[in-house]
């Protein structure tokens, strides 16, 4: 047998069961195995199984640019079960060829070539021009650890010159992962720093790029896993897991943006959220009693600071018992929530997985009677402490337990609760950090221990929560937030980056984490604005708000014992600026809602790092702070104290400074003024950016006129606007309006905009206010479907504006 007992090893071979180097074990007790030489092959459906002497390799053609690899130790495969892959994903019909060569096999699609060596079953993937995109170094092998009783399944890959790596969810540190080693094991990491690892989420998907080509690797394995991007050996990248089958997907770009899009389609596109969920959220640990919550709402409205959502943390409960109310603090929750609704506020409550052990507590009694709680190896119920004290915990890997958990939301929904926030679901406990490894799970009919279920626990809780709310919401859309997650969580929930701190370093880190999550398929993400821990000064809070306006999930949250972080808790100069930027969030909400719709229909990420936008521009490879929201808005936060300007990079194209309308050529670094009341913000030339009137909450009043900002194009540019009722399911039956705009400069230097529409939704407004940016003075004519409107146009500063019929077909400006 190849590579027998490894008494002395180097590189990836010398790791113990926890993923650390095993110097303390003198590298003893580790056996390492390889697949060996080719023996035979067979075809099953769209898969080819190539058997080696000691292991088998299965390659499935998912699409012309997506291949799935499975390795079966000793020639046997596990059940091909996954929580990550969208059960509604339907692979397209793909043409391919399988050929046997002298020294290898080759699978050919219209885009890729995949070669499998007969000597070792190692894999090499190229594109059609022969560029090697992804190649095994040692390839797949596995280690048996006698002293730990476990198997580690490993893949080592050739690291190409100049290769960059991105993704892996909410990881801390630099955006480019090159030279680092990362671990996935969801952890309650209160007060984490820039070098903390692991953190909350477990998304084993990364993006790689070299030779101007991008690709992705998704290792669908829920065990504790590791990724090494050239830290141990600078010519090798590797990924491995402490159990389970080595199963991974190769996703070809060539653009990184396309890699994320295809990965998101594979693991599931999100549902549209209620539009109010994209407004501003205010949270704290904790707002209580009821009088404090009512006063909070009054302050927002009296100060004219927009807000849609108030969050209630664990102190709303009776002794931290989930699905209960503390009747002393909240004697009439239904009336309080109804009154808040009258003033435009939605209420979100926190729910943790720990169920207090308390005879007579209804949820506890149901959980015991229904056999819904996790058990230890010897059959005893798991007991561990969290906020209520000793608790039992649901086995969310059991389908009927997820269904039961969903029924528990009936009371909260009937009370008027609009959304649910799942916390402590890594799962976290006070004694040992998480459950003991011997805890047993159903895993939807594939029984396992906590070693396998830990990383997916949070996602399954979020699924049960989302589906439970939806059952009782009477045709409205569910809204769920989760702290811990596995790949595919975007189908059920939004996320935030956990218990951060009030510092400039953490502001920058929050930006990186949200970009990284978006690249990993989870766009509906945000951070605790201002930091959960500690007290920001007014400047830091203001700069954080300015950045978070452009993050999909926009929530201020704080630990009550570290100072208040309501927007009015700072000097008046900061309050006024913060109000203006929260108002800006509501003005551009039609654009943000449209970008979310694009994400939900295509899988394209909402936040896009510069390397996602311009993947062949080497200047973008190490840029961390600039990002795009959708295709047309480019943002660069201020992350240094007292800064009033900063350098930033503009990708290729022509860009308008949002504040001044000054034109800037891209593919260069520029210095941008950024006084305290501005954030560097640019608009792509040719874009159409919709704006609505400022409102205190979504749906406060009927919108009588939508503003369309037209930015003069230099190349043909397409924009979209999506509209529907905002909180219902009617859009699935055609009650939506999708508008497409093509903006172009004609051969005779005229500016032409064409609008096309589909869908049956009737908007409230009857006309647009068109604002035209980039014109050098008043044009000689503005023709709308042949009708001259120049006499009705007016100049407001550098902008020409005119009222437009909402159903126009073509605008021609001369």
**CA 78/CA 70 separation, integer angstroms:** 9
**What are the Cα distances from residue 568, in Å, to 293, 527, 586?**
15, 20, 18
What is the model's pLDDT at position 20? 41
Strands (E), 283-388: 309-312, 346-351, 355-356, 384-386
Assess whether 426 carries a catalytic annotation. Answer: yes
What is the model's pLDDT at position 6? 27
Closest CA to 486 of 442, 431, 425: 425
Catalytic annotation, pick one of 65, 197, 499, 613: 499
Q: Is residue 632 part of a domain?
A: yes
Q: Is residue 541 part of a domain?
A: no
Do 175 and 38 fall within a single domain? yes
pLDDT tens per residue, range 204-217? 999 999 999 999 99
**CA 313/CA 483 separation, integer angstroms:** 14
What is the model's pLDDT at position 27? 55
In the chain, pLDDT over 70 holds for what percent of residues?
96
Contact status, residue 653 vs residue 684, Cβ threshold 8 Å: yes
Question: Is pLDDT of 778 > 50?
Answer: yes
Average pLDDT for 249-278: 98
Question: Is pLDDT of 282 > 90?
Answer: yes
Average pLDDT for 407-434: 98
How many other CB atoms are found less than 10 A from the CB of residue 561?
7
What is the model's pLDDT at position 50? 98
Chain centre distance of CA 58 = 30
Q: Is residue 202 part of a domain?
A: yes
Do 700 and 722 fall within a single domain? yes
Rounded to 5°, angle at Cα 527 from 525 and 529: 140
Do 69 and 41 fall within a single domain? yes
Do 732 and 676 fall within a single domain? no
What is the model's pLDDT at position 146? 76
Question: Is pLDDT of 178 > 90?
Answer: yes
Assess whether 499 carries a catalytic annotation. Answer: yes
Question: Is pLDDT of 2 > 50?
Answer: no
Assess whether 423 carries a catalytic annotation. Answer: yes
Closest CA to 651 of 674, 604, 617: 617
DSSP helix/strand/coil, 467: helix
Strand 280-282 to strand 246-252: parallel, antiparallel, or no bridges (unpaired)?
unpaired
Question: Is pLDDT of 3 > 80?
Answer: no
What's the N-to-C CA distance of the chain in angstroms?
78
Do 29 and 138 fall within a single domain? yes
**CA 374/CA 379 separation, integer angstroms:** 9
What is the model's pLDDT at position 564? 86
Output the domain CATH number for residue 673. 2.60.40.1180
Task: Quote the domain boundaries for residue 53.
Answer: 11-267
Order across the sheet with 794-796: list the strands: 688-691, 705-711, 767-773, 799-805, 794-796
Beta bridge partners, 709, equal 689, 771
**CA 759/CA 764 separation, integer angstroms:** 15
User: Which residues, other chains included, contact 698 with Cβ-Cβ below 8 Å and sequence gap of 6+?
Assistant: 275, 276, 278, 279, 308, 586, 589, 726
pLDDT tens per residue, range 686-700? 999 999 999 999 999
Q: Is residue 524 part of a domain?
A: no
Do 118 and 241 fall within a single domain? yes
**What are the Cα distances from residue 76, in Å, to 72, 73, 510?**
5, 6, 43
Average pLDDT for 72-101: 95
Tokens of 218: 């998704």
Q: Is residue 82 part of a domain?
A: yes
pLDDT tens per residue, range 516-533? 999 999 999 999 999 999
Among residues 653, 684, 715, the one where a domain terminates is 684
What is the model's pLDDT at position 145? 86
Q: Is residue 807 part of a domain?
A: yes
Q: Is residue 523 part of a domain?
A: no
What is the model's pLDDT at position 453? 98
pLDDT tens per residue, range 331-345? 999 999 999 999 999
Do 711 and 657 fall within a single domain? no
What is the model's pLDDT at position 529? 98
Assign 148 a pLDDT band (cuts: 50, 70, 90). low
Catalytic annotation, pick one of 426, 583, 724, 727: 426
DSSP helix/strand/coil, 690: strand
How many other CB atoms are found less than 10 A from the CB of residue 780?
8
What is the model's pLDDT at position 76? 93
Do 679 and 692 fall within a single domain? no
Among residues 226, 250, 267, the one where a domain terminates is 267
User: Is the bond leading into 705 cis (omega within 30 degrees of zero)?
Assistant: no
Taking the CA atoms of residue 240, residue 244, residue 246 and residue 248 in that order, the dihedral angle to the nearest 10 degrees is: -90
Do 69 and 89 fall within a single domain? yes
Q: Is residue 561 part of a domain?
A: no
Question: Is pLDDT of 581 > 80?
Answer: yes
**CA 272/CA 290 separation, integer angstroms:** 31
- The number of folded domains in the chain is 3
What is the model's pLDDT at position 425? 98
Do 680 and 692 fall within a single domain? no
Assign 382 a pLDDT band (cuts: 50, 70, 90). very high
Taking the CA atoms of residue 201, residue 602, residue 163 and residue 85 in that order, the dihedral angle to the nearest 10 degrees is: 50
Question: Is pLDDT of 573 > 90?
Answer: yes
Output the domain CATH number for residue 93. 2.60.40.1760
Question: Is pLDDT of 28 > 50?
Answer: yes
Do 660 and 750 fall within a single domain? no
Tokens of 36: 């060996």
**CA 35/CA 1 separation, integer angstroms:** 9
Average pLDDT for 766-783: 96
Catalytic annotation, pick one of 326, 423, 720, 724: 423
Do 102 and 239 fall within a single domain? yes
User: Which residues, other chains included, contact 566 with Cβ-Cβ below 8 Å and sequence gap of 6+?
Assistant: 282, 296, 299, 556
How many other CB atoms are found less than 10 A from the CB of residue 640?
12
Among residues 663, 684, 705, the one where a domain terminates is 684
């Amino acid at each position: 047998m190849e590579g027998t007992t490894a008494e002395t090893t180097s590189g990836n071979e010398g790791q113990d069961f926890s993923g650390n180097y095993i110097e303390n074990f003198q590298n003893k007790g580790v056996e390492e195995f390889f697949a060996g030489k080719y023996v035979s092959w067979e075809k099953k459906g769209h898969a080819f199984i190539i058997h080696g002497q000691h292991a088998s390799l299965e390659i499935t053609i998912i699409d012309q640019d997506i291949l799935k690899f499975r390795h079966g130790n000793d020639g046997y495969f596990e059940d091909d079960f996954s929580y990550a892959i969208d059960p509604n994903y339907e692979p397209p019909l793909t043409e391919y060829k399988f050929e046997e060569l002298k020294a290898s096999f080759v699978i050919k699609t219209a885009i890729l070539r995949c070669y499998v060596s007969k000597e070792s079953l190692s894999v090499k993937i190229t594109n059609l021009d022969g560029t090697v995109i992804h190649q095994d170094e040692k390839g797949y092998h596995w280690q048996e650890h006698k002293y730990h009783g476990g198997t580690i399944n490993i893949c080592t890959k050739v690291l190409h010159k100049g290769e960059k790596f991105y993704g892996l969810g909410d990881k801390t540190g630099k955006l480019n992962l090159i030279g680092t080693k990362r671990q996935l094991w969801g952890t309650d990491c209160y007060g984490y720093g820039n070098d903390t690892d692991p953190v909350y989420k477990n998304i084993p998907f990364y993006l790689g790029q070299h030779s101007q080509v991008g690709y992705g690797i998704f290792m669908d394995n829920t065990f504790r896993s590791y990724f090494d991007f050239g830290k141990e050996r600078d010519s090798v990248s590797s990924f491995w897991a402490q159990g389970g089958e080595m199963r991974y997907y190769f996703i070809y770009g060539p653009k990184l943006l396309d890699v994320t899009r295809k990965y998101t389609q594979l693991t599931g596109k999100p549902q549209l959220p209620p539009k109010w969920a994209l407004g501003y959220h205010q949270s704290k640990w904790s707002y209580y009693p009821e009088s404090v919550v009512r006063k909070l709402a009054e302050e927002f409205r009296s100060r004219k600071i927009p807000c849609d959502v108030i969050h209630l943390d664990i102190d709303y409960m009776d002794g931290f018992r989930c699905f209960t109310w503390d009747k002393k603090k909240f004697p009439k929750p239904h009336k309080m929530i109804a009154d808040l609704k009258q003033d435009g506020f939605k209420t979100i409550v926190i729910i943790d997985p720990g169920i207090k052990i308390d005879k007579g507590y209804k949820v506890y009694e149901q959980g015991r009677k229904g056999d819904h709680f996790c058990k230890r190896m010897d059959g005893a119920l798991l007991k561990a402490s969290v906020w209520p004290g000793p608790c039992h915990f649901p086995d969310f890997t059991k389908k009927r337990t997820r269904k039961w958990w969903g029924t528990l939301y009936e009371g909260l929904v009937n009370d008027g609760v609009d959304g649910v926030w799942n916390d402590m679901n890594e799962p976290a406990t006070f004694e040992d950090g998480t459950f003991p490894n011997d805890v047993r799970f159903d895993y939807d009919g594939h029984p396992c221990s906590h070693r396998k279920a830990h990383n997916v626990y949070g996602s399954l809780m979020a699924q049960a929560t989302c589906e439970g709310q939806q059952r009782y919401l009477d045709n409205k859309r569910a809204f769920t937030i989760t702290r811990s997650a596995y790949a595919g969580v975007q189908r059920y929930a939004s996320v935030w980056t956990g218990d951060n701190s009030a510092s400039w370093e953490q502001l920058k880190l929050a930006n990186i984490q949200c970009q990284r999550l978006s690249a990993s398929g989870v766009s509906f993400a945000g951070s605790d604005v201002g930091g959960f821990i500690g007290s920001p000064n007014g400047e830091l809070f203001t700069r954080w708000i300015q950045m978070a306006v452009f993050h999909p999930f926009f929530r201020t949250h704080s630990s009550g014992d570290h100072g208040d972080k309501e927007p009015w808790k700072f000097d008046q100069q900061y309050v006024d600026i913060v109000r203006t930027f929260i108002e800006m969030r509501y003005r551009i909400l039609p654009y943000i809602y449209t970008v979310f719709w694009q994400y939900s229909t295509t899988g394209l990420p909402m936040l896009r790092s510069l390397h996602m936008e311009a993947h062949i521009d080497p200047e973008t490879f190490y840029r961390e702070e600039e990002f795009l929201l959708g295709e047309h808005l480019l943002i660069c936060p201020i992350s240094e104290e007292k800064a009033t300007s900063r350098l930033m990079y503009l990708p290729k194209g022509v860009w308008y400074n949002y504040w001044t309308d000054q034109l800037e050529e891209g593919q260069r670094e520029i210095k941008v003024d950024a006084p305290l009341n501005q954030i560097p913000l640019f608009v792509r030339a040719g874009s159409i950016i919709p704006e609505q009137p400022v409102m205190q909450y979504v749906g406060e009043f009927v919108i009588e006129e939508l503003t369309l900002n037209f930015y003069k194009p230099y190349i043909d540019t397409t924009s979209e606007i999506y509209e529907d009722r905002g909180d219902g399911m009617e859009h699935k039956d055609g009650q939506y309006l999708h508008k497409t705009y093509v903006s172009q400069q004609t051969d005779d230097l005229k500016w032409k905009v064409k609008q096309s529409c589909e869908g049956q939704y009737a908007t409230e407004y009857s006309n647009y206010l068109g604002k035209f940016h980039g014109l050098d003075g008043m044009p000689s004519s503005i023709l709308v479907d042949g009708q001259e409107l120049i006499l009705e146009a007016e100049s407001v500063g550098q902008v020409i504006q005119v009222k437009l019929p909402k159903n126009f077909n073509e605008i021609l400006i001369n």
